[in-house]
Amino acid sequence: MFLLRHGPLDAEALRRAVASPEHGAVLVFHGDARASTAGRRVTGLWYEAFEPMALAGLEELAVAVRARHGVGAIACAPRLGAVPVGETAMVLAVGAPHREAALAATADYIQRLKQDVPIWKREHFEDGTRWVGSATDPQARAAARTA
């Protein structure tokens, strides 16, 4: 199950999509909009996507991560449009025979989703906005220094 949604996400539906008697581990990750970034107060987020490519990217990524980590199922629903602070921006569910595989697959999927899937995030602050990953994004600069 791979969905792009405007408005609140149904985490329980994603959990059900990956649950199975063969899966001893079902992990559901909520990516929530936090209140600050690099010392600046965030007032909200905005997500945009090229939807056909984003859906295809979510599915292709799941195939690769499932093979790499030996997990049985992955479901993901990123949210588009406005996301207020404290609300969920993305839900990822992973079903696997064992917890180690589910945890590793979750971390891998999230990292690669941010790098490879055409979904863009704009942070709104009290004094302006910034597209994440842009030249003015301190998170992108910090990641570049550690790469």
Using CB atoms within 10 A of its CB, is residue 12 exposed (0-12), middle (13-18) or buried (19+)? exposed
Report field, pTM of the whole predicted structure over 0.95: no
Using CB atoms within 10 A of its CB, is residue 78 exposed (0-12), middle (13-18) or buried (19+)? buried
The tokens of 95 are what? 């079903």
The tokens of 106 are what? 């979750």
The tokens of 14 are what? 């994603």
- Model confidence over 63-83: pLDDT tens digits? 999 999 999 999 999 999 999
- Model confidence over 79-133: pLDDT tens digits? 999 999 999 999 999 999 999 999 999 999 999 999 999 999 999 999 999 998 7
Indicate left, alpha or beta for 131 from its phi (over 0: left) and psi (-120 to 50: alpha): beta
Is the pLDDT assigned to residue 136 strictly greater than 90? no
